[in-house]
Amino acid sequence: MEWDFEAEVWLWKSDAAWHFLTLPQDVADEIEDMPMSRGGFGSIRVEVTIGSSTWGTSIFPSKEMSSFLLPLKKPVRVAEGLGVGDLCHVHLRIAD
């Protein structure tokens, strides 16, 4: 399965500079309903494309946000010129 959506970059509430995107509710609901095995902390392996950057990572469920969180690593933020509050177009695919 694949999805395209817009999401805003935000910073985790800690001393670490962890940046995330929150998946839109409709996308999160579709993923939640899919039968699949999950990794630690309920993670799901995905392939993500933002701009010209494509990489493999995992999304993590968040009860607080009733969605999944997508970590946005620094090399991608730098390559795509993204910072906190920026809106970006995301192509997300469940990894095989």
Can you tell me the distance from the alpha carbon of 44 to that of 37, in angstroms, rounded to the nearest whole number? 8
Sign of CA dihedral 17, 61, 9, 46: positive
The secondary structure of 21-41 as a DSSP string is EEPPHHHHHHHHTS-----GG
- What is the topology classification, in CATH, of domain 2-94? Elongation Factor Tu (Ef-tu); domain 3 (2.40.30)
Quick: pLDDT tens for 47-96: 999 999 999 999 999 999 899 999 999 999 999 999 999 999 999 999 97
28 touches 17 (CB < 8 A)? no
18 touches 85 (CB < 8 A)? no
Return the domain boundaries, the chain.
2-94
pLDDT grade for 39, boundaries at 50, 70 and 90: confident
For residue 16, pLDDT beyond 90: no
**Amino acid 60: pLDDT:** 95
Of all helices (H) and strands (E), which one includes residue 80? helix 74-80
**Amino acid 76: pLDDT:** 97
For the residues 15-28, what does the mean pLDDT come to?
92
**Amino acid 41: pLDDT:** 72
